[in-house]
Structure 1
Amino acid sequence: MRLTASGGTALLGGRPLDAEVEESEGLPTEVSHALRQWAWVAGQVADAGEESSAREVPLEDAEAIAHRGQQLAALVAAVRGESVEYVDPISGDALPIGPDQWQDDDEEPTPWATGLTAAGFVALVMLGLDLALTGALRTAYGWIWIPANVLVGIGLAPTILLLSRLRFWRWISYGTTVGLTLAWLGLITTTL
C-alpha cells in the first residue's frame, strides 16, 4: 500500500482518496479528513514552489509536510495492520512505515515523582485550609461550617474537573480532591 499526495489529493494505493477508497480501506473519518488536509497543504506548498522564481519549496515547509505525511502513514499502517510505503510528495523519496511505528505525539511519560509531590503538597495545603476555615466557622457560628464546606466543594468541583484533563494540572486537582476528602472525613469523625 502506497501513500502519497499529488495535485492536492491524497493517493492511497494509487487511487485518489474518496468515499469509496475510504470505505474499502476501512479508514476512520478522522484519518481520511487528516489525509485530505495534508494533501491539500502539500499541494499548496508545491504550487507555491513552482510559481516562485527559485522553483524550490522552502526546506522548513518540505520537512513539515514530510513529517506530517510520515505520521499519517504510520497511522494508516496502524489502522490497517500492515506496512505502508510513504512517498514524499515534495521530494519523491519513498519510506516503508510499519504498523508498529505509530506514536501519538500527545503521549509523554507520566511524571510520577513530580506529580505525586505536587499532589501531596496541594493535599496538605487544602487539608489545612479547610480545617482552619471549618474551625473558625465552628467557633463563631456553630453548625454553619457544614453548608460552608458543601459550598466550597460545589464551588471547586468544576475547576477540579477541568484541571483533571490537563497534563500537569491533573495532579493539582487530585491533591485538591484528596485534601478536601481527608478534611471532610476528619471533620465528620470528630463531630460524631
Structure 2
Amino acid sequence: MLLIGTVAEELELRAGRAGAVLVDASGTLGLAPEHTGASERLVGALREWAEVVERMRRGETSGRKVAEAATRRGELLATELATEIGAALRYRDPVDGRLSRVEPRERDRNRRSPSSGAASSGEDDVPWFPGLTVAAMVAALTVIALVVVSLGLGEVSPLLAIVINLAVAGGFTPSIWLGRDVPTWRWPVLGLACGIVLSWVVLPLSLLG
C-alpha cells in the first residue's frame, strides 16, 4: 500500500493480455489489481473486463455496442478501484486509447477507515428489494417450468423425469457457482438455485395429490 500512496498520481489502468494491470507513466511498473488491496469481487470484475477487451482485439467479438460497453465498464471499474485504494488513477480506454483521470467517489472515500485504509464494505448499497424481487420471479418461473416438464415426462417414464431434473440441476450448477459473486447476476442465480430446490419439493407433493 505504500507503493500506491507514493505513485498513485501516475498509475494507469489498462487491459493487457494477461488481464487488467496498473502501470506507471514510463510503463516499466506493472501491478496487478489484487496487489493493491482491492476486493476479490472487484478483482474478478476487472479480470472479466480485460478478457472481453482481449477478445475484441483478437477479432472474436466486435461491434459498436460491444466497444461502448467495454469502454463504459472500464470507466466504472476504474472509478471503483480508485475508490477502494483511496487514490486517483488514470484510465486508458481500450477502444481508442484515450487517457482520462479517474477520482475516487467522495462518499466512499469519506467512509474509509483512516487506521486500516480499507474500503467500507458497502452493505448499505446492496439493492435488496429489487434483487430479491428478481430472484423470486426467476425462482417461480424455474419451479413452473421444471414441474410442468417433469409431470409430462412422468406420465411416460418416472425415471426419465428424474434423469431430466438431475441433468438440469447439474447443468446449471457451474453457472450458479460462478455467478454467486457477480453483482448483476447473483440475484438471478439465487432465484435459479431456489427454484431448482423448490421444484424437488413440489414434484413429490404433486405426485401425491
TM-score of the superposed pair, with normalisation by structure 2: 0.45
Larger Rg: 1
TM-score by length of 1: 0.49
